Amino acid sequence: MSSPAPELFRRARACFEELVDLPEAERTARLAALADGEPQLAAAVADLLAVDAHASGFLEQPAMPSAVKAWLAATTEETVTLGQEIGPYRTVGLLGRGGMGEVYLAERADGQFEQRVALKVLRRGMDSDEILRRFLRERQLLARLEHPNIARLLDGGRAPDGRPFIVMECVEGEPITQWCAARGSPVEERLRLAVTCCEAVEVAHRNLIVHRDLKPSNILVNADGQVKLLDFGIAKLLGEDGEETLLTRAGVHVLTPAYAAPEQILGGPITTATDVYALGVVLYELLTGALPHDRRATTAAELSAKVSRETVERPSAAARKAMESEAGGDDRESRRLARRLSGDLDTIVLKALHRDPARRYASAAALADDLRRHLDGKPVSARPDTVGYRAAKFVERHRVGVAAAALIVLSLVAGLATALWQAKAARAQARRAEEAQRFLANVFLEADPDRSKGAQLTARDLLDRGAARVDGELANEPRLRAEMLTLLGNVYQQLALYPEAQKVFEKALALRKRLYTDSDPELAEAYRRLGTVLHKQAEYAAARPLLERALAFDEGRGDFLATADSLNNLASLARAESDLETAQRLAMRAVNLRSRNGPLDSPELAKTLNNLALTLWRQKKNAAAVRVFERALAIHRKNEGELSSLVAGTEDNLALVLREMGELQAASAHNARALAILERLYDRPHPTLAGSLNTAGLLAEERGDRGEAIRLYRRALAVFEQSLGPDHPDLVYTLQNLGIELAKNDDPQAALKLFQRGLQIREKAYGHKHPDVATSLLDVASAYRQIGDYAAAEPILRRSVALFRETVGPEHRRTATALLGLGELLTLRGRPMEAEPILRECLAIRRAQLKPEDPGITRAEESLAEAQKARRSS
Amino acid sequence: MDGDDDLEAASGSPVVPEQITELLRAAEGGDREALDRLFGMVYSELRQLARRQLQVTPVHHTLSTTALVHEAYLKLSADARWSTRDRSHFFALAARAMRHILIDHARRRTRRKRGGSEAPLSLDDAQVPVHDRGEELLALDEALERLAAVDPELARLVEWRFFGGLSVEEVAQILEVSDRTVKRQWRTARAFLYQELSSQRFST
């Protein structure tokens, strides 16, 4: 963004200062008046106003203490001299110097105890006051942390030179990686040490302390092989500056790039999963001798860029490479190690290192548990990611054959398998879960080209195979069979293969009707699934009784949350049928049930709120829709942090509603935030980003900036194409938007091409009998008309009219639109006699359905008058 | 060459209040040399004050430019009768000096971190502050330059308030306008800078 010209800014400033304290309505009116005469000035003022709404607090804290101190620190560095007394301690030796400061060996100066301690004097330039304040706040928590494998925090205070210091139990030992390397420890010993680390970390987590900076130099092993973890909770004392930040970004974080979890570097929330990741890195290093990523970077920006792109190589492959690159590396030895690591250990380490904190081990204990199971030769819980891994591998080999959507599907399969495996923890279902896992793994193994004899399999093929085999392979496991059918149905549904989904859901329902009673949740679920997929296929009448039955069962069980789900489904159904009042009532009930019986910040509540907001929006209760979207947004933000597709998606919905309300500056601000999030969130093209770009295009159009709108639609289109492939129906909206703008820009030929492409996509996706196909026909005809090729336009318009009549009914508004197009064209073609009855029909529909002052009626009247005039004069 | 040291060298002999007043008036009259000397004095005074504060500050007290600038004012204006004009001139200088101090330092720090002669971060043990305040401060400084190009009055206001630590009331007093006027101007300036900084963020 370039700065405005002084003259424009001077005037914008004057307007802004005049408007800024006015009530919202008056302000909007004044802005609108200004926009008439001076759009550029109005836009500049609107921008300032939009920003002002978010800028409160910004720069409000005058001066920056830490900046002052950093400056002072750089000019007045002092070091502790040996023998100096710091608090009740006397330094006797320097243990080390690092990023945080210096570490001294010290003893009690008053000779009270014969205790040797490690005394850490923190580097200058950190905010000493804040650190000390935090230390005082956290010290009790930290002091309570007593564990044989955790070095105790003993004391802290301010050194004579003003710097804070921290006193800890003095630990002798070597960093865990060095210790193992020096002794040539076998894999089993390394794993046992890692298990000990995990257990210690788990104890800290239960005491609400996250380490945040686990790395080999903080994990020492002494000569007896005893492990001690250092610096627990210290990173939190040093990082996280709450008080003063420009804008709203998080404060300084202290971290070690090589071991930090992606969310630490990219600014996500820090949780126990952050430590699980660091443990994963240490484990990786212990097993392979290499780090999982190359994170060498000289600036924070470079580091972030690297982290958002990186992928992890399997430990078995990395170990082999590391050993082979060593001079005189023993080939046999490296193969042996690679074999040792491949399988369980690859899986375990990769799971700990998952980018998404939610997909890592749920706790350090779970990681320890899996390592122990592996050591005991038992199957490990991380298996499902192996299925996911095979799936990924499969996609890699068949990149051309598998659509982007399939990626989502495959991860979904892995996700459900995970859920099954979590169920396994309940033991009772262990055998079922194992069966399920084996079944899934077999389906994917089949996809391996080595086994499928080179045939190119798509995700669809995989699903079909799964569906075909599920009956035979799980003949003796009817419950599990129903579960797998449901899983397959979900995946089909995700792929928009609704008839296939319906088929397996029907089978699942039939099975469960035999197996379960009305009070079992499984049966209600089966009804719900089938109802939902019928809804997706617009078979509303068939869907309703199923969803109502699911609701009755859920209510009968007194399961409030399932009841809320069912209400939510019925609300969506009512909305689809345009019964907006019912939709609103049901959605409100769902919201109330969830609010009363569940947490006020659950993601399910947010989704229900989102559904309610969509209905309110359709009802044109835009202000209420905004409020509800905002509530949903607040919940998503709380649960997911800023960097979330749900946050971005809701922001974008808000932008769309606000756009309809004419609140362009607020809409643009929401849209800009959505875009900013999505661009940071996805390192590859993603349809949500494309959707948001499309919204940005609409807003640019609204501002009258056609060039920008065209540019944005083109970008949206490119991102859609790269993410969904060139034939996905979601592309068509953007094709239409872009086509309309190009047509307005006097390029109907280009518009025609886009509209034709949209038509083809829809015919391919929906068949020939779908109202959206009729709409695309209208688009194509309008381009022909603008070009002047009336002869080409006419049959297309006739098809469109016929199709609308067939799909939405002869008296529908959309039918009237097609009639208008056809009537006007016939007048243009010199056949007003034919045009007249068609335009009369259009006018009759519009008069019956629209308010008398609606411009649509005027337009139809004018077109009819035009036709009559043409008839009389001919 | 270290910016800090350059400026400190310019400060010369200890500060005498009468001399300050004289210099202040001369600088107001357009005397470049007087302005430079004065700037050096204010700068070194601020620095001394900060250093002392750091040694005596109790745990719960935060060091701030507000305190520094005001203390420098009290010390340098002691015994002197300063007009409102002198006062405003002094605060303008102090704010500018504070800005210099902080920006110079931030610039040196970021330069150092971007490599230069320093060895690259080692993979294992380097702890870097990921969100570097220095870079943030430099971005603000640049945005402030852009504001100065379109509206010097607003830029001065930000300098006074953010770097000089002056309150709305103090600014209003010095400029002899109402608090409301200052507040409105402050909102405009803030919106401008916020826009500049966030658009930068979105584009990276």
Of B115, B166, B195, the CB nearest to A51: B195
> What confidence category does residue A531 fall into, taking pLDDT thresholds of 50, 70 and 90?
very high
Q: Say yes or no to pLDDT of A437 above 70.
A: no
Output the six-digit token pair for A487: 């899983």
ipTM of the complex: 0.73
Mutate to test the interface with A, among B122, B128, B185, B203 (most CBs of A within 10 A): B128
pLDDT bin (cut points 50, 70, 90) of residue B125 is very low
Least Cα separation, residue A544 to chain B (angstroms): 45
- Mean pLDDT in chain B? 68
What is the predicted pLDDT for the residue at A683?
62
How far apart (Å, rounded) are the C-alpha atoms in residues A74 and A124? 8
Q: Is B44 on the interface with A (CB under 8 A)?
A: no
Sign of the Cα pseudo-torsion (A26, A32, A37, A42, in order): positive
- Cβ distance of B136 and A254 shorter than 8 Å: no
- Sequence-distant (6+) residues with CB within 8 A of A451 are A445
- Given this model, what pLDDT does residue B113 score? 44
3-state helix/strand/coil string of B88-115: HHHHHHHHHHHHHHHHHHHHHHHHHHCC
| CA distance, residue B76 to nearest chain A CA (Å) | 21
Is A432's pLDDT higher than 70? no
Q: What DSSP letter does each residue of A37-94 carry, written as one string? A: H-HHHHHHHHHHHHHHHH-TTTTTS-S-HHHHHHHHHHHS---PPTT-EETTEEEEEE
What is the rounded average pLDDT of the residues A231-240? 66
Contact B105 A74 (CB under 8 A): yes
Which residues of chain B make contact with A49, given a CB cutoff of 8 A?
191
Cα distances (angstroms) measured from residue A68 to each of A54, A75, B127: 27, 11, 21
Task: Give the dihedral of Cα atoms A128, A130, A136, A139; nearest 10 deg.
Answer: -90
Instruction: Give pLDDT, residue A790.
Output: 94
pLDDT for A377 equals 77
Overall average pLDDT of the A620-640 stretch: 89
| Chain A residues close to B54, C-beta within 8 Å | 69, 72, 76, 162
Q: Which residue has the higher pLDDT, A761 or A429?
A: A761
Q: Which residues in chain B have Cβ-Cβ distances shorter than 8 Å to A296?
A: 120-121, 123
Active site residue ranges of A: 213
Q: Is the pLDDT of residue A663 over 50?
A: yes
Among A66, A130, A291, whose Cβ lies nearest the Cβ of B133? A66
Model confidence pTM above 0.80: no
A 147-176 residues inside an 8 A Cβ radius of B:
158, 162
Residue at token pair 């830490």: A66
- Say whether pLDDT at A414 is over 60: no
Assess whether pLDDT exceeds 80 at residue A824.
yes
Contact A62 B162 (CB under 8 A): yes
| Cα A282 from Cα A61, distance rounded (Å) | 41
> Which span out of A207-216, A656-665, B94-103 was modeled with the highest average pLDDT?
A656-665
Chain B nearest-CA distance from A265, in A, is 7
| pLDDT of B59 | 36
Q: Residue A67 and residue B128: Cβ atoms within 8 Å? A: no
Nearest CA in chain B to A131: B59
Q: Do B194 and A58 touch (CB under 8 A)?
A: yes
- The Cα–Cα gap between B184 and A156 comes to 46
Residue A566 in this model has a pLDDT that exceeds 90: yes
d(CA A576, CA A536): 9
Residue (of A268, A323, A260, A257) closest to A290 by Cα position: A323
Residue B17 banded pLDDT, cuts 50, 70, 90? low
Distance (Å) from the alpha carbon of A239 to chain B's nearest alpha carbon: 8
Residue-level pLDDT at A547: 95
Q: Strands of chain B (E only): list them.
A: 128-129
Interface check A99 vs B, CB under 8 A:
yes
Contact across the interface for B125 and A215, Cβ inside 8 Å: yes
Q: Please judge whether A291 and B185 are an interchain contact, meaning their C-beta atoms are less than 8 angstroms apart.
A: no
**Given an 8 Å threshold on Cβ–Cβ distance, is B61 in contact with A264?**
no
Query: Vertex B12, ends B8 and B17: CA angle to 5°?
Result: 110
Task: Work out the pLDDT band at B104, boundaries 50, 70, 90.
Answer: confident
**A76 touches B at CB < 8 Å:** yes
Q: Is A264 helix (H, G, I), strand (E, B) or coil?
A: helix
Round to whole Å and give the CA distance between A598 and A821.
52
Distance from CA of B41 to the nearest CA of A (A): 17
Residue A604's pLDDT band (boundaries 50, 70, 90)? confident
At residue A870, the pLDDT reads 92
Hey, is the C-beta of A248 within 8 angstroms of any chain B C-beta?
A: no
Nearest CB to A129: which of B62, B126, B127?
Answer: B62
Q: What pLDDT does residue A601 have?
A: 82
Banded pLDDT at A299 (limits 50, 70, 90): low
Q: Does A737 score more than 60 pLDDT?
A: yes
Question: Could you tell me which residue, A613 or B106, shows the higher pLDDT?
Answer: A613
pLDDT of A394 > 70? The answer is no
pLDDT at B7: 35
pLDDT grade for A855, boundaries at 50, 70 and 90: confident
Residue A620 has pLDDT above 90, yes or no: no
Q: Which of A15-19, A308-312, A488-492, B1-5 has the least mean pLDDT?
A: B1-5
Report yes or no: A236 at the B interface, CB cutoff 8 Å: no
- How far is residue A568's CA from residue A561's CA, in Å, rounded to a whole number? 10
Alpha-carbon torsion angle A366, A370, A371, A377, nearest 10:
160
- Residue for token pair 């420890």: A185
CA distance A12 to A52: 13
- Chain B residues whose CB is inside 8 A of the A13 CB are 151, 154, 188
Q: Measured between beta carbons, which residues in chain B are less than 8 angstroms from residue A75?
A: 4, 47
pLDDT of residue B182: 93
- Mean pLDDT across the stretch A339-354? 88
